[in-house]
Every structure is written in structure tokens, then in C-alpha cells.
Structure 1
Amino acid sequence: MNSMREKPLSIGVFGLLGAGNSGNDGSLEAVLDHLRAARPGAVVDAMCGGPEIVATRYGIPATRLNWYRGEYRTASRASAIAAKGFGKLVDVVRTAAWVRRHDAVIVPGTGVLETTLPLRPWGFPYSLFLLCAMGRLFRTPVALVSVGAGPIGNRPTRILTRWSTRLAAYRSYRDTQSRDAMRAMGVNTARDEVYADLVFALPAPAGNESAGMPGPVCVGVMDFHGSNDERDRAEEIHRRYLDGTTRFVRALVEEGRPVRLLTGDELDRPVAASIVDAVASPLVTVAEAASLADLMKETACADSVVATRYHNIVCALKAGTPTLALSYSAKSDVLMAEMGMGTYCHPAREADADRLLEQFRELERNAARVRRTLVQRNLAVARRVEQQFTDLAAALFPAAGPTHALRETP
């Protein structure tokens, strides 16, 4: 005879987490902080890109996203191609088993529905499709929470992304352009809400406490090669970006300004090293930031920030520091406009050092007014993120408390 028994709510988090991208990990941290405060009895685990890092840093059990460990390396040998193909089949079973044992799965923020960086359809888009399909099959709600989206040119990637979104039980976006992009791809977004990036839920760092002491200029760099649809021009785009950014840093150093280079992904470190070598000045240093919280502290102590990676920009804005976006995607322009900073955007594909310097000097002249604007905008954004968590709980756990009554079990 079956009987009802109470057991803790089981919640999974899913994504390219712990894989070296601080923005992705910051979104995970925001969701975990919320769950620990609002659902202290829940059992949380992850299926992610870097399970060892997630388990160590965040204290939750973690499973590898892909069976094949070389999933994100280019396969040239027949054996590697065969292993990748076999891994796709194994991942169907692994993902199904993982999804089935959860009451809900959350995909925390990040640009999971965009291809602003090079991306193969059978990489993460396929993994996300498997997740959402298995969620629908086993009636485990999958929530895409404050995610980023954008137009997708590659047809297989577009199809996988569209079906992933349709199969998800809950969807919300970090900006209106993301929702518009999914609507343009044929997804019914009538019930989907727009909130803000989850990183804005993290605690704000303290500013520069050295009274009267000038801070550095933080320059966030990126291993930028254009979008997924610009692979044929990738090296040209990268050279132009690196040359313009290097010239900008050199101009600051020639004025005696200390420059602190920031990265947001392990892939960015060679770019920072290249700039250090090219400028060859003790005024240029590289921040050893291991987490998004570290990056936020760096930006809080800066006089101003010029950043490329989206979450470097988020960190600087959250810290209330005057920020200029070296923008590689419309999402950065949208974010800057929402924070009252739309004037201070410069296209990363052009990276014109002279024009960048003009915008930077204008930013610094208006620094006091910019800081006041950011204080006001941050309050409004924080309220939107808080509302996101309230609405998510109502959608996923309408009758759940710290414990949850599951289906009848033997």
C-alpha cells in the first residue's frame, strides 16, 4: 500500500556554472543565496560545466553537464568525434535521470538563449534542449530565470533554442530585448516577464575608503572575436579590439593613471597579458579576481571603469562607479540605457582609442552626477530582482513551505 511521506524539496540548478565565467557563477550565487534564505529546508544540487568548483565554492553536490570531458574542445580525430557523438546519447540518459529526481530545476540567469559569442549547436544549446525536454517528459518544471536572449542566425541553434524555450515551464528575461528576440523566434511570450540581471541581487561592495586618494581606472578586457555569425572575420575583429584597447590603456598610462585590468573568464587572461606586455609599465596591473564578488570590489575601489564583458559592466554599475561600456552586444547597450548611462557606450568591434578617450574624459567630468544616478537606478533594479524571486516562488512552489509533499511512493 502506498503512503504519503514528507521529504525535503529537491531543487536542481543547471548551466555552464563553475566553468571559469564569473558572470555565470554570480548568477548561481544569487539564486543560491535566495534559496537558502527562502527555502532553508530544500536540498539543492547542480548539473554544470565545472562540478568540482561548484561543489567546493558553493557547498552543493554537483554533476558534470556532459559525459564526454572534451565536449568544448574541437574534435579533429575520428576517435574524438566518435566519443562526442556517443556522449550525446549518454547525456540523454544522464539528463533524464538527473531531472527526474527533482521537484524543480532552475537555470539561473546568464545568456543561455543568445549567441553573441561563438557557440556550436550541439554544445550547450543541445544540453539545454535535453533539460527542457526531460522536464516536460517527467513533469519537473524547468525555470529559465532572468535569462538573456538574442537573434540567432545559425538554423540548428535557433531551432534548439526555440524548442528549449517553449518546453520550459517558466521563463523570465533580464531585459526587454531578450523577450522581444524570443517572440521574434516564434515563442509565445505573452506571460513572460522582464525583471533584471540576477547579479544585481548580490550585496553591494564598499567603495574606495581611502579619503582623498585617487583610485585606478579599471579596464575590463575580453577574448573577443565577434559573434557566432562572424566566424569568418573573427581574427580581424579580435586584432582591432585588442589594438584599440591597448592604445587606450597606453594613453592613460602616459597621463600617469594607474590601470587595473579585469577579466571575466579564464579565456580573457591571455588578452590581459598581451596588453601588459605591449604597454610595459608598472602602472598596469592585472586583478587576480577569483569571483564576481572580487570583481565588484575592484570596481568599487576604482575612479572609473571601462569594461567589455557584460558582467564586468554589471559589477561596475552595481558598485555605483562611473562606467563606460566597450560594448560587444546590444545587451550591454540596453543595460547601460536602463541605468541612465546610454551616452557612455562604445562599440567593441571598432575600439577607436581616440574616440574612447573622449568619451572617457566626458564620463570623468560628469562623475559626481553619474554616481547619483546610479544610486537611484540601483534601488529600482534591486526591487525588480526581489519581485523576480517572489514571482518565481509563486510559479514553482505555490503550496510549498520548507518541506514539500511529493507524489505517493511505495
Structure 2
Amino acid sequence: MRPPVRVGVFGLLGSGNLGNDGSLEAVLGYLRAEHPAASVDALCGGPEVVTARYGIPATRLHWYRGEYRTASRAGAIAGKGLGKLVDVVRTAAWVRRHDVVIVPGMGVLEATLPLRPWGFPYSLFLLCASGRLFGTKVALVGVGAGPVGNRLTRGLVRRSARLAAYRSYRDAQSRDALREMGVDTARDEVYPDLAFALPTPRAGAPSSPPGPVCVGVMDFHGGDDDRARAGEIHRRYLDGTTRFVRALVEDGRPVRLLTGDECDRSVVAAILEAVDSPLVTAAEATSLADLMKETAAADTVVATRYHNLVCALKAGTPTLALSYAAKSDALMDRMGLAAYCHPAREVDADRLLEQFRALEKRSAELRRTLAERNAVAARQLQEQFTALTAALFPTTDRAQARTRQETP
């Protein structure tokens, strides 16, 4: 009897980012449905959270626990340096134990947020190089990519992508970005974000009179190339978003503040203090499922984080994007709402309010559009999973999967 396929999942999972964890949840759903005999474990940022929430064994991604804290003292700097060497051995040993390793979604090939080359880009390179060395298939599934300014980071991203056995992307811009870096993407496909494969909550009926608005906020300081003016970008973003929330409250609209990462809570606290109204409350979402329920209950959503947008659009709620990267614009275009994007770097509360009111006037029409686009996304993601099975799993495993599907 053939032993079970050993599958690893890899990434900054269980670390407080709901979008990353939602991508993991979608891939685990696929594995449990199509390859239930597979043995699955993780190498990730928050192993305790992943094991408790998803029921799979998990190992810490980095030997040095302060990997993502700024190192200023000699001991911390030495610890980080030693950790880089230890992680070479740890990553290689973990990869060698698997037949397949899946990197589920996430923007692992982009630098739209501040990023150091010796952080996650280095970890991803170790993964892909180990996979090539030991014959373990590494799959970058539905990932995001983008132009990378830093030369070293760009080199690590390019080499990682070339070493992977399988690549697919969540938008065409991601594939184009890798092609421009010199990666052969001729056989790579584009599919909707993996979170569109998660269960959809029941959408609420629009309120009369106008009801709640979800505003998804972010601890936004610009991208990797904006470090010199990060403070200015953050102040402008926070001021514009706060003034927009205050305008909604003055119109009598209940506002529900959403986050997508632990670091966003400071922005929520600042807005709550500045607006100081019982009409403004903060959601305590711990998963994309929670976020989808919040957005499904709203009349309209205005959001910054990419996966806040995904949740709102999947829930079928008319949505306006405070866009900070091309991936947000691409997502809105895919879902038929390209006209409703506003730059996160230059939030103009008056202009944003105009766009918001224009969006609400077309609410019924846009809900129909979203229903149609979501049906297309579901079909395309099923194609993604079929392609993934063909690329990664043995023929006997595929035959078993077909037998299960055909059994009444």
C-alpha cells in the first residue's frame, strides 16, 4: 500500500494576518476534500495558533524568536545572524521530510509593504532551494507579486520563483511582474484569490433607512520604497480616514471599523478617540469568516487591506477600495468595481465621500454584478485546484480522488 503523501504548508501563517490565514484555510479545505489521506503539517510564523485553529502539527519558521523585531543591541544582532545560519539547516530538514510543499496565496513575491531582504524573502529562497535540492515539489499557489526596488530582495524573489515546481497568481499584474524580473511565466496561470474558495456568508438585505457602513483600516505607512516619508503618509491616511468616518457619523450612519492584522488596532483606537461617537464601533474579527459576516451585514464597505476587500466583495456587498497597491485595483476591476478606487496615500475625505455616495446610488446594480463575478470566481478556483492536483500529486492519488468523487 502506498504511504500517504506528505504535504507541508509554508508561510507567515498564524502570525496575526487574517488574509494569510484565510489562504491557508482555503488550501486545507482543498486538501481535505481532494486528498484526505495526505499527511499535512506547517512551517510557519505562529505554530501554536495554526495547530490550535486548524488541527495540524506546526513548526516555528525561524529559530530566532525576535526575527521580525528591529535589532539594535549586539546580542540581538548576533542572534539574528546566527538564526539565519540555523534556519538553513532547519528549513532543509523540514523540506526533505515532504513530497510537496505549498505556499498558500499571500503576497510572497512583492514589496508593497516595508520588507527586508533577509526576512521573509530569504526564508522563501531557502524553501525553494531546499525543494530543488531534495526533489520536493514546491508550489507557489495563487500568490501575489509586484515590482521590487531593492536589488537584493528582487534577486531572492526571482531565484525563489525560478526554483519553484509550480506557480500561479492571484492577478495578471503579478505574473507580469515576475516576467519583467526575468522569470519564464509562459506556463503559469492566473486565478482569483484563494479566499474566494472559502464559504460565503448569507448576505443581508440593504437597510431602509440607510444602515451600517464597514470601514476597514490599516496601519499604513506606504510601501518598501516609501520609508523616508512613512510618517507623513501615515498621518495623511489616518487624518483622511478619520474625517471620512466623522462625516458618516454626521449623516447618522453607524460605522463598524474592521482590521486585518494585529498592528491595525492602533489605527482603530485613534479613530475611536478622535470621532468619539456611539455610532462608531470596532469589530473583533479573528478570521476571514468573521470579516465576511461583518461585511455581509453592512450596506456598504470602504476598506484598505486587500483581504478586507476580498471579504466584502465575496459577501456581495458594494465596496470602495482605499487602494495602496496595484493588487487592489486589479481585484476591483476583476469584480466589476474599477471605478470605485481611492488612493490610500492621499485620502481626500471630501472626494471619498462623493465616491461613496455614488457607489450607494448603484447598490442594487452592483450587488447583481458581484453575484455574477463571484460565480465565475468559484468556477475558476475549482480549475485551479484541479490543475494543482495534476501538477503535484501522484497518479494513484488522483485516481483515488476521482473514485471518491464518483462514489454516490
TM-score (norm 1): 0.96
Tell me the SS of whatever aligns to 1:400: helix
Instruction: Give the CA RMSD over aligned residues.
Output: 1.3
1:375 aligns with 2:371: yes
Query: 1:78 aligned to 50, 67, 74, which one?
Result: 74
Partner of 1:172: 168
1:81-101 CA-partner distances (Å, limit 9, x unpaired): 000000000000000110001
Partner of residue 238 from structure 1, selected from 229, 234, 238 = 234
Give the superposition deviation at 1:153: 0.1
> What secondary structure sits across from 2:43 in the alignment?
strand
Give the structure 2 partner of residue 224 of structure 1: 220
CA contact (8 A) 2:142 2:167 kept: yes
Partner of 1:187: 183
Aligned to 1:67: 63
**3-state SS of 1:186 partner:** coil
Letter in 1 for 2:137: P
1:286 aligns with 282
Aligned twin of 1:89: 85
Match of residue 265 from structure 2: 269
Give the paired residue count.
400
Local SS of the residue matching 2:132? helix
Contact 2:210–2:253 (CA<8 Å) still a contact in 1?
no
Three-state SS of the structure 2 residue aligned to 1:285 is strand
1:71 alignment partner AA: E
Q: Is 1:126 equivalent to 2:122 in the alignment?
A: yes
Structure 1 runs of 4+ off > 3 angstroms?
209-215
Unaligned runs of 5+ in 1: 405-410
Match of 2:192 among 182, 191, 196: 196
**Partners in 2 of 1:371 and 1:80 — Cα distance?**
52
Pairs within 5 Å for 1:258-407? 258-401=254-397
Distance in 2 between residues matched to 1:303 and 1:323, nearest whole Å: 9
**TM-fit CA distance, 1:8:** 1.0
Measured at CA, do residues 205 and 48 of structure 1 come closer, stay the same or move farther in structure 2, by a change above 3 Å? Answer: same
SS at 1:143 equivalent? strand
Greater helix fraction, Structure 1 or Structure 2:
2
SS of the aligned residue for 1:151 comes to: coil
Of residues 153, 156, 159, the one that matches 2:155 is 159
Aligned identity (percent) is 75
Contact residue 324 and residue 345 of structure 2 kept, 8 A = yes
Q: Which amino acid aligns with 1:119?
A: L
For residue 72 of structure 1, what is the amino acid of its counterpart? Y
Does the 8 A contact of 1:42 with 1:402 survive in 2?
no
Amino acid at match of 1:263: T
State whether residues 205 and 297 of structure 1, in contact with CA within 8 Å, keep that contact through their aligned partners in structure 2.
Answer: yes
Equivalent AA in structure 1 for residue 212 of structure 2:
P
Q: Report Cα offsets for 1:294-341 as digits up to 9, x if no partner.
A: 000000000000000000000000000000000000100011011110
TM-score by length of 2: 0.96
User: Are residues 11 and 403 of structure 1, via their aligned partners in 2, closer, same or farther at CA, if it must alter by over 3 Å?
Assistant: farther
Aligned amino acid, residue 179 of structure 1: R
> What is the match of residue 100 of structure 1?
96
User: CA offset at residue 214 of structure 1?
Assistant: 4.9
- Counterparts of 2:210 and 2:63 in 1: how far apart (Å)? 50
Take 1:308 and 1:10, find their aligned partners in 2: how far apart are those partners?
A: 37
**Cα distance change on mapping 1:384 and 1:210 into 2, 3 Å:** closer
Distance 2:316 2:204 in 1: 11
- Any idea what SS the aligned residue of 2:131 has? helix
1:211, CA displacement in angstroms? 7.4
Instruction: Say if 2:206 and 2:299, in contact at 8 Å, map to a contact too.
Output: no
**Which runs of no fewer than 5 residues in structure 2 stay unpaired?**
401-408
Change (3 A) 1:148 1:262: same
Instruction: Give 1:398 shift.
Output: 4.1
How much has 1:397 moved relative to structure 2? 1.0
Does the 8 Å CA contact 2:7/2:100 hold for their aligned counterparts?
yes
> What residue in structure 1 maps to residue 22 of structure 2?
26
Offset of 1:170 from its aligned partner?
A: 0.3
In structure 2, C-alpha distance between the alignment counterparts of 1:265 and 1:211, rounded to whole Å: 29
> Is structure 2 residue 41 aligned with structure 1 residue 41?
no
Give how far 1:6 is off.
2.6
Work out the CA distance in 1 between the residues paired with 2:348 and 2:130. 47
Q: CA deviation at 1:7?
A: 1.3
2:30 & 2:266 partners in 1: Cα distance?
Answer: 35
Aligned counterparts of 2:104 and 2:129: Cα–Cα separation in 1: 18
C-alpha change, 1:95 and 1:383, in structure 2 (3 Å) is same
Aligned mates of 1:207, 1:213 — CA distance in 2: 18
| Residue 6 (structure 2) aligned to one of 4, 7, 10 | 10
